[in-house]
Each structure stands twice: as C-alpha cells, then as structure tokens.
Amino acid sequence: MAIIRAETLSKTYRVADKQPGLAGTLRHFVQRRHRDVAAVKGVSFTIEAGEMVGFLGPNGAGKTTTLKMLSGLIHPSGGMAEVAGHLPQRRQADFLRQITLVMGQKQQLIWDLPPLDSLRVNAAVYGLDDATARRRIAELADMLELGEELTRPVRKLSLGQRMKAELLAALLHQPAVLFLDEPTLGLDINAQARVRAFLADYNRRHGATVLLTSHYLADITALCPRVLLIHEGGLFHDGSLRELSSRLAPCRLVRLELEEPRPAAAFVSYGEVEACDGRDVRLLVERERLTEVVARLLADLEVRDLEVSDPPIEELIGRLFRQGAVT
Amino acid sequence: MATPGLTALGMKGLLRYWRTLKRFWGSALASQMEYQVNLLIEVLAMAGNLAGSLLLLWLIYGRGQQLGGWSLDAALVVLGIYTLLDGVSSTLLRPNLGAIVTQVQQGTLDFVLLKPIDSQFWLSTRTLSPWGLPEIVTGLGLAIWAALRAGARPGVATLLGGALMLLSSVVILYSLWFVLATTSIWFVKTWNVTEVLRAALSAGRYPISAYPAGLRTLFTVVLPVAFLTTVPAEAILGRASGMWLLLSVAVATASLLFSRWFWRLALRDYTSASS
Amino acid sequence: MRVWRQGDAPRRKRSLGQLVWGLGRRLHHGWRVARALFSSQYALMLEYRAETALWALSGILPFIMLGIWSQLAVPPAGLGPGSGADAGGIGLDQVQLSRYFLCAFVARQFSVAWVVYAFEEDALQGRLSPYLLQPLQPLWRYVAAHLAEQLTRLPFVVLIAAVFFLLQPAALWIPSPARIVATVLAIWLAFSINFLMQSCIAILCFWSERASALERLLFIPYLFLSGLVAPLQVFPPALRAAAHWTPFPYMVAFPAQLLAGGAVPIAASFAAMVGWISLLLPITLLLWRAGVRRYSAMGA
C-alpha cells in the first residue's frame, strides 16, 4: 500500500519584486510589485511503505517545498498529498506522531543544554513513558555511536555530533515516515558516511519510509534505489539512478591530452567543453556524432592521448540543470 | 458528568500537557542557572525602576497634589501591580513570546508545528526565566502593604476579587502580547510591535483617572490599560464595583479566545506562505 | 572620516604639494566611503521602515507623561508662569507643558542609539571579523546606520507631531530659525553622547556576552533624569543640580527646552555637552583598542 501519495501537487508563491539600489528601494517603497512564482508544478508520485527514495534537483527546484507540503507545513495551492492515510496540512496529532522532518540547516535541540534535556522534552510531548524513552534513546544512541555527547551542552558539540543528536531527537517517537532535507549538509566525508549507514540501518530495522534530499549524490547512490528528479518545479524522472543516467546520456565524455595548450574557445565546434586546462581538455559529445568528432579531433590537433567514457552522473545532472538555466 | 471514556482521554491529555510543562520549565531552569549574573541585573533594574517611579510620585504628591483623586497609598497599590505585571513579563511573557519572532525568522517554528501538541501552548510556555520572580514578589508585597496603609480591610471577598482581577489582568496582557507576536507570521520584522505595546502599557504605572478624558477612554476601550492595573488595584482596595469585575473577566475571556482564533488564522497563512 | 589605508602608514618627508594632494585624495576617498556607507545603510533602513515607524511610535512616553502633568498644570485662566500664585503647582501652563513634551519626544527620537544591539548581533553572527579586516574603523559603519535610520524616521516623527498639533492646536508655534539651528546642533551632540556611551558598553561585548544588560541599567537613570518623564523645573533644586552633574539632562531636557523656547543657559549647556564628548571619545577609542586586542587574542 502506498504510504505517500502526491497527485498533481503544486505550489505558487507570491514574491515582491524589487530592483537593487537606492532608486529601486524607493520605487518599491512607493509602488509594490508582486510576481507569482510556481515552485512546484503538478508533481505526481506514490511511495510504498519501507521505500528509500532520493529527491534530486538544483537549488530552488522545489524539493524543499515538496517536502514541506508532504509534512504538512505548507498548504498545496493545487493537487493533493496523502501521507500515512492523512491530509498533511491538517496536522492532526495522529499524523504528526507518524512522521518526522529533519532539516540539515535548522536545529531543534536547545543550544545551551545537553541533548538529553531536549530528548526528555520530546519524550513528554510525544507522550512516551520514561521506560520507553530510555530504551529508545539507548537503542538510537547505540546505532548513532553517541555516548557522553548526550550529556554535553549542544553548543560544545561538533557539527557531525550535533546532526546525529538531531537525528536522535527526530526519531525518538519512532516515526514511520522520515522526511530528510539535506541531512548531511556541511558534514565531513566520515560523518556523512556514518549518517548514511545509520539511515540504512534504521530503515532495515523499523521498515520506515525515507524521502531524502541531498546535495551530495553519494548520499543518494548509497541509500536510494529510487530517485525522483525535480527540475523547474516538475517531475523530470522517477526511477532508478541507472535509468536516469542512460536517459540523460546521449553523450559521451571525451578526454584529450594535447601536445600544445589550446584555449577553450578552440573546442566549441566539437562539443560542449566540460573543462579546459591548457593541455588537458574534457568534452561532452553527442553519441551520434562521436566517431565523426573524434576523427576530426585527431585530424585537426596534435593529440597525445584520447579517451572516451560515460560521463559521471553528477556531470550529466549538472549539465541538465545548466541547460535548464539557459533555456 | 461526561462519559468515562472521554474523561479518561481528557485526563490523559491533561497529564501529558502537565508532564510536558514540567519538562519545559525544568530544562529552562537548568539552562538559566548558567547565567546567575542576570539575577543581579534584574534586581538592580527593578530597584532603579521602582526608585524612579517613587521619585515621580513624590514629585507630584510632595506638592500636595493628587493623581486623579487617588491618595499616595492607593497610587502605590497601582505601582505595585504594575511591578508585579512587569515581573510576569520578564519571567514568562518576554522569554516565550519574544522568541516567536526569532522562530519565525529562523524557520524553527516548523519543528513546533510538527509536534503533536498545541502550538500556542508550546510557544507560550516553552521557557521560563526565574530572574523576574523577585519583581513579582516585590510588586505583590508593595501592593498589599500600600493597600493596608490605604485602609483596605482584608476579607474573603476582597482577596478573591483581587486574585481574580490579577489573573484577568495577566490573561489580558498575555493575549495582547501573543496577538502582536503572532503578526510576525505575516510581517517577519516585528520586534518593535511589542515595544510599542510596552511603551503604551507604561501608562499603567498610574491610576487611569490621572489622565485627561481622551487618554482615559483610549486606555480603557482601545488598549485595556485600565484593566491591567487600575481595576485590580480597586479590587484589592475593596472598592471595585461588581460591574467592573464582571467586565474585566469578560475582557480577559474575550481576549484569550481572540488570541487563539488569531493564531489559527495566522497559521493558515504561514502554512500557505512560508518557504 | 578617518580611513586607514594599508601601505601609506610610514611617512617620509614630502613636499607641500604632495601633502596637499595626499590630503585631498584622503578626503575624497573618505567622502566616497561615507557616501557609499550612508546610501547602502539608507536602502537597508528603508527595508526596515515598518520597524522604524513602530519604533518611532514606541517613543510615546513623553505624551503619556504629558497626560499626567497636564492635571497639575497652571490653569489657563490663571496667572502667567513665574508669578508664584500657583502654590504646589509646577509653574508651567498647559501650552508650555505640551510644547515641552513634544520637543522632548523629538529630541529623544533623533538621539536614540542602538549600537549595543547591532554590535552584539554582529559579534554573535560572526560578521565582526570581516569588518575588522576592512580598512575602515567599524564604528563608522554604525554611525552611518544611525544617521540613515534618523532620516528614515523623519517622516514618521513629522506625522506624529502633526497629529499632536491636530489634537492640541493651542500648542502650535514656530520656533525662531536660530533656535532651530541650535536645537539641531544640540540634538546631534546629544546623539553623539548617547552613541559614545553605548559604544563603550557595546565594546564590552568583547569581554562578556551579557554586555547589553548594562545598557538596560544605564537606561534607568537616563529615563528619569533626562527630562523624558518630567520637566527638570519640577525637580527640587538639589536634585536638579545633582542631575546636571550627569550627562542625562543634556540629552533630552536641554534640546527640548531650547526648541520649546524656554530660558536655558545655552552656552553653558553646549560647553557641558562638548565636555562630555571629549571625555567619552578617548575612553571609547581606548576601550576599542583593548577590545580588539582581546578579540584577536581569543582567536576572533
């Protein structure tokens, strides 16, 4: 049974339009102009209980807005969402007990106190009795490798320790659905890996459904068999990462090592210049033109080495986003 | 009698809120204990403010003048209640309601809204600053001492009336403040709204009849300053009419209900406007 | 405006022409910095205009106090002030009181300083370190912000004064141009005193997180001794004399009486204000240097 259902979910914001500088400020002061911005445009998908789904998209694509609509923080302007059998925006207590939202750039723990104090507050709010709360804290602390950090003031914790404590606070009530917005933001590689391992472990143990956004593709590749790619407010892809890459890559990556350094402008006629560092050049070339372009490159330039490969998925997605920004 | 099931549910719910409140204040006290120097500052500020207010009263009464027909002792009851309310503000209202703007700005209000607990309850009781307590005690002491000097006769009716009026005045002050803090959902930058409120409420240091007719109407009808200090003082002095007592309770109830309605209204907009 | 430029610190002998040219360049540079600072701060303050309007409105205390003192004013049908006929009265009639408190309101509006709060916020948010790296004494940034905020405040103050005169048409008067010029000068000096006192407290943020609490304490004598809640004439002579040993009466009462047309010792008051500034300025600068030294010692 689908635990998350979104049907033509949309959200439009009204934003003030202001030109920079003093003149713009004054004009805005006298006459306010507004503009409607569609953050999410008719997105539909369903997620089964226990799935781990990655949410991809550039900044401002509508990832966070979608997560907030699913968790009930903002009302959709169109379409509808259903999570765990509830309409999220009603925010009924029964619904709230089943979900959690973790935001990498915001924190709920009390700054001046050890995490344990915030956890005790959360336990009371969710109506957990002391024995249950203690048992869950012990279990989660064990999974997150948190020990004496729980009794140290939050302000004295490192970013990674703080994030792990935030996760503990967010999962104390054992929610069935986890919305994670950039949970690894700003963490170093080791801490990222630990958070990832924890999430996979948690999903295995409790069968929780996880919907995760991240800037780090590594989070998604490690955790999510299924990926939703949002681009300019619309759903661009719903499926596995592999499918996404074959769909995005009518291109191949051509790596050149030249005898003489050349400027980037010299390669525009061959393909899209990924990088040009004097003698080392990387080009994205459409698949159909590959043989022709390689032949021309070898004929036109003094090439020391040439290598053709599949471009990494990051670059493909980045390329898609850049094109989106141009058109 | 309600049905047993409903009562049990209500009791369980109440118990959860009570346990939550204990945790809230327990953790708040724990974090405040790191800042004992605040106690000194609060006590000094209170002493300074009281001394200044007494100086003003002395400037007036020392000339043989009276404020709106109130004797010096009766006016001191008003000042005592003002001090008490100021203490309540420093203890509960300012730390909690002042934080709402910050929560809206930093987006941590999201966490509150996602908790299965009444969000107005959370925002209004989340923390507690014990350093305002001396002000509450001093204010109450001053009010009682001055009332006795002014010839008030303590009796059950006076005590009950006074307590009820004080409760009403705290409720009115809370509701006003909460409504103003709520506006930050629409206009994020509204720290100063509460400053305007505080400035206007400082009129409550003196009995309402000390003001010219225009201001008196303003402070009774538009801004219920009269209900904050003058009416409770009259009750403590044992000279409040039943009509005023009733009116005060009515205003308190209405403003509390209004604050709840207003918060719900604001949330509907927050949930459809914030990113 | 003092601007520190790297590279021209050690001075060797230069010709007069070079000196003049250098001075001109520095002045020009200072002017450009001042203009850029002011206009960017003004744009910022316009963004906060609703806040500023509310803040202007939160200065209504003088009007509330006017309500209290009005009851004790000399009745309009009575004898003029100074005749001594109003035993127990305050020697001011309704119109004089109205004008005084309106002027006190205006003086307060344009001498408000909030550098403690801005500085504390900047220190907490970590904005201070980049400011310290710029070749400009950071306090100038706050001066520009205050001046810009005063300009934003101006229309709201005019509006409040207009409403006041609508309600009290009898109090309307036109001060003489000389008085207006003197008042503007007095208010700016009052602002300077306020700004310097607050800066000293703000700089204490380098040592303690709780420095802004001191500002709360300092505000109390300011409130009662500055003339904001009562004209100083009603103080008993000994208390009035004592108050004049503090800077507070010069910050509201003096500019207010100047504008309202009262008899005040103008030269002596200006001298006292300049005296306070020349006392506070070196203290502020010394504290600043010590504070920055401590800040860098603590690892910024």
| HEC readout, C83-116 | CCCCCCCCCCEHHHHHHHHHHHHHHHHCCCCCHH
Could you list the residue range(s) of the whole structural domain that residue B33 is in? 14-269
C183-216: per-residue pLDDT in tens?
999 999 999 999 999 999 999 888 877 777 888 8
Q: List the single residue in A with minimal CA-CA distance to B112.
A: A108
Q: Do C42 and A22 touch (CB under 8 A)?
A: yes
Whether the predicted pLDDT of C80 surpasses 60 = no
β-strands A52-56, A280-286: how paired?
A: unpaired
Q: Has residue B2 been placed in a domain?
A: no
When pLDDT is averaged across residues A203-227 and rounded to a whole number, the result is 89
Alpha-carbon distance C143 to nearest alpha carbon in chain B (angstroms):
21
Dihedrals φ, ψ of C249, to 5°? Answer: -60, -25
Share of chain A above pLDDT 70, in %: 92
Of A212-226, A285-299, B206-220, C65-79, which range is least confident?
Answer: C65-79
Question: Is the minimum CB–CB distance between A12 and chain B shorter than 8 Å?
Answer: no
Q: Do A25 and C49 touch (CB under 8 A)?
A: no
A148-170: per-residue pLDDT in tens?
999 998 888 998 899 999 999 99
Which strand ranges, in their side-by-side order, compose the sheet holding A2-17? A33-48, A2-17, A78-83
* Contact by Cβ (8 Å): A92, A86: yes
pLDDT at B52: 93
Instruction: Look up the pTM and report it.
Output: 0.82
A200 C-beta neighbours (distance < 10 Å), count: 15
pLDDT band at A234 (very low <50, low <70, confident <90, very high): confident
* Contact by Cβ (8 Å): C71, B60: no
> And the tokens for B180?
């103003």
Share of chain C above pLDDT 90, in %: 47
Q: Do A108 and B27 touch (CB under 8 A)?
A: no
A243-285: per-residue pLDDT in tens?
887 777 677 888 888 888 888 888 888 888 878 887 888 888 8
Of A37-46, B261-270, C6-15, C106-115, which range is least confident?
Answer: C6-15
Q: Distance (Å, rounded) from C-alpha B268 to C-alpha B37?
A: 41
Question: Is the minimum CB–CB distance between C223 and chain B shorter than 8 Å?
Answer: yes
Q: Has residue B6 been placed in a domain?
A: no
pLDDT at C5: 45
pLDDT at C12: 55
> And the tokens for A155?
């302000």
Write the DSSP string, C115-179.
HHHHHHHHHHTT-HHHHHHSSB-HHHHHHHHHHHHHHHHHHHHHHHHHHHHHH-GGG-----HHH
pLDDT at C189: 96
Alpha-carbon distance C47 to nearest alpha carbon in chain A (angstroms):
8
pLDDT band at A25 (very low <50, low <70, confident <90, very high): low
Instruction: Tell me whether residue A132 is exposed, middle or buried, using C-beta atoms within 10 angstroms of its C-beta: 0 to 12, 13 to 18, 19 or more.
Output: middle
Write the DSSP string, B168-220.
HHHHHHHHHHHHHHHGGGTSS--HHHHHHHHHHHGGGGS-GGGS-HHHHHIII
A175-210: per-residue pLDDT in tens?
999 999 988 888 888 888 889 999 999 999 999 999
- pLDDT < 50 regions, chain B: 1-6, 273-275
Q: Do C43 and A25 touch (CB under 8 A)?
A: yes
Chains with 3 or more CB pairs under 8 A to chain C: A, B
Q: Has residue B124 been placed in a domain?
A: yes
Q: Has residue B216 been placed in a domain?
A: yes
pLDDT at C280: 96
Tell which of C64, C105, C223 to mutate to test the B interface (max B CBs under 10 Å): C64
Q: Do C54 and B210 touch (CB under 8 A)?
A: no
Tell which of A19, A22, A25 to mutate to test the C interface (max C CBs under 10 Å): A25
Whether the predicted pLDDT of C299 surpasses 70 = no
Q: List the single residue in C with minimal CA-CA distance to B213.
A: C67
Q: Do C46 and A26 touch (CB under 8 A)?
A: yes
Inter-CA distances, C214 with B42, B242, C199, C203, C288, Å: 11, 45, 12, 12, 17
CB-CB neighbors (< 8 A) of C47 in chain A:
25
Q: Distance (Å, rounded) from C-alpha A2 to C-alpha A48?
A: 4
pLDDT band at C218 (very low <50, low <70, confident <90, very high): very high
Domain count, chain B: 1
* Contact by Cβ (8 Å): C45, C145: yes
Question: Is the minimum CB–CB distance between A125 and chain B shorter than 8 Å?
Answer: yes
Q: Has residue B47 been placed in a domain?
A: yes
Chains with 3 or more CB pairs under 8 A to chain B: A, C
CB-CB neighbors (< 8 A) of C213 in chain B:
37-38, 41
pLDDT at A286: 83
Q: Has residue B8 been placed in a domain?
A: no
Whether the predicted pLDDT of A56 surpasses 50 = yes
**C window 48-67, beta carbon within 8 A of A:** 49
Q: Do C43 and A29 touch (CB under 8 A)?
A: no
Q: What is the CA radius of gyration of chain B?
A: 20
> And the tokens for B85?
């309310």
Helix (H) or strand (E) run with residue A33 in it:
strand A33-48
A285 C-beta neighbours (distance < 10 Å), count: 22
Alpha-carbon distance A263 to nearest alpha carbon in chain B (angstroms):
43
Q: Do B107 and A106 touch (CB under 8 A)?
A: yes
Dihedrals φ, ψ of C53, to 5°? Answer: -60, -45
Which residue among B37, B48, B203 places its CB closest to the CB of C210?
A: B37
* Contact by Cβ (8 Å): C109, C157: yes
Whether the predicted pLDDT of A27 surpasses 80 = no
CA A146 to chain centroid: 25
From C141, C134, C136, select the one nearest C119 (Cα to Cα): C141
Higher pLDDT, B162 or C43: B162
Write the DSSP string, A166-177.
HHHHHHTT--SE
Q: Do A21 and C43 touch (CB under 8 A)?
A: yes
* Contact by Cβ (8 Å): A117, A155: no
Q: Distance (Å, rounded) from C-alpha C168 to C-alpha C148?
A: 30
pLDDT band at A19 (very low <50, low <70, confident <90, very high): low
Q: Do A101 and B110 touch (CB under 8 A)?
A: yes
Which residue among A106, A113, A121 places its CB closest to the CB of B110?
A: A106
Q: Do C46 and A25 touch (CB under 8 A)?
A: yes
Question: Is the minimum CB–CB distance between C227 and chain B shorter than 8 Å?
Answer: no
When pLDDT is averaged across residues A113-142 and rounded to a whole number, the result is 91
Q: Has residue B9 been placed in a domain?
A: no
Question: Is the minimum CB–CB distance between A68 and chain B shorter than 8 Å?
Answer: yes
Alpha-carbon distance B267 to nearest alpha carbon in chain A (angstroms):
9
Q: Do C54 and B190 touch (CB under 8 A)?
A: yes
pLDDT at A324: 55
**C window 106-145, beta carbon within 8 A of B:** none
pLDDT at B227: 94
Q: Is A152 helix (H, G, I), strand (E, B) or coil?
A: coil
Alpha-carbon distance A25 to nearest alpha carbon in chain C (angstroms):
6
* Contact by Cβ (8 Å): A51, A210: yes
Inter-CA distances, A83 with A12, A99, C87, Å: 21, 9, 78
Question: Is the minimum CB–CB distance between B264 and chain A shorter than 8 Å?
Answer: no
Write the DSSP string, A232-301.
TTEEEEEE-HHHHHHHH-SEEEEEEEESS---GGGGTTTSEEEEEETTEEEEEEEGGGHHHHHHHHHHHS
Question: Is the minimum CB–CB distance between C220 and chain B shorter than 8 Å?
Answer: yes
C275 C-beta neighbours (distance < 10 Å), count: 12
Question: Is the minimum CB–CB distance between C166 and chain B shorter than 8 Å?
Answer: no
Alpha-carbon distance C43 to nearest alpha carbon in chain A (angstroms):
6
Q: Do A73 and B114 touch (CB under 8 A)?
A: yes
CB-CB neighbors (< 8 A) of A29 in chain C:
46, 49
Q: Has residue B103 been placed in a domain?
A: yes
pLDDT at C211: 77
Q: Do C43 and A22 touch (CB under 8 A)?
A: yes
Q: Is A4 helix (H, G, I), strand (E, B) or coil?
A: strand
Q: Do A120 and B275 touch (CB under 8 A)?
A: no
β-strands A177-181, A209-213: how paired?
A: parallel
